[in-house]
Amino acid sequence: MRQALDLAAAAAADGDVPVGAVVVDAAGTVIGTGRNTRERDADPTGHAEVVALREAATALGSWRLEGCTLVVTLEPCTMCAGAVVASRVSRLVFGPFDDKAGAVGSLWDVVRDRRLNHRPEVVSGVLAEESSALLREFFASHR
């Protein structure tokens, strides 16, 4: 999560919402990293989770990320929660819940929806205060 927080800070420095993500394989090796790049790249899908999942899939040579863990500094949105399910990530770890757009328990719970074909283990609240502080500072400076 510390590496994801560093990536989130880098996103903020580029004017993007400070969210960072890291994918680790079953051995604990980092195989994908990402940070929000929507503003920098003018890409609506440039969310940290999607960027990290793409990099991890490239590293493995497969879209199936079974046995991998996605660590992200904020509860994923609906797009990113869908990408978690589609990629078959085994575990999702995130910081604070996102009451405005969260799709892992706040507004929706996409990753635990029994109608879908995959449901990862979920761990929430990891270094939540540190991530929340980054977000508060970012939005305070953009108001």
* Rounded alpha-carbon distances, angstroms, from residue 59 to 30, 52, 101, 121: 10, 11, 29, 22
User: Strands, DSSP E only, in 3-143?
Assistant: 20-24, 30-35, 69-72, 91-94, 121-123
Set 49, 55, 121, 130: catalytic member: 49
Q: Is 80 annotated to bind ligand?
A: yes
Q: Are 59 and 81 in contact (CB under 8 A)?
A: no
Cα dihedral across residues 123, 124, 130, 135: positive or negative: positive
Which one-letter DSSP state was computed for residue 36? Answer: -
The answer to whether 142 is a known ligand-binding residue is no
SS3 133: helix
49 included as an active-site residue? yes
Question: Under DSSP, is residue 23 helix (H, G, I), strand (E, B) or coil?
Answer: strand
The annotation status of 77 as a binding-site residue, yes or no, is yes
The residues that bridge with 24 in the sheet, in sequence order, are 30, 69
Which residues are catalytic, by number?
Answer: 49
Binding-site residues, in ranges, read: 47, 77, 80
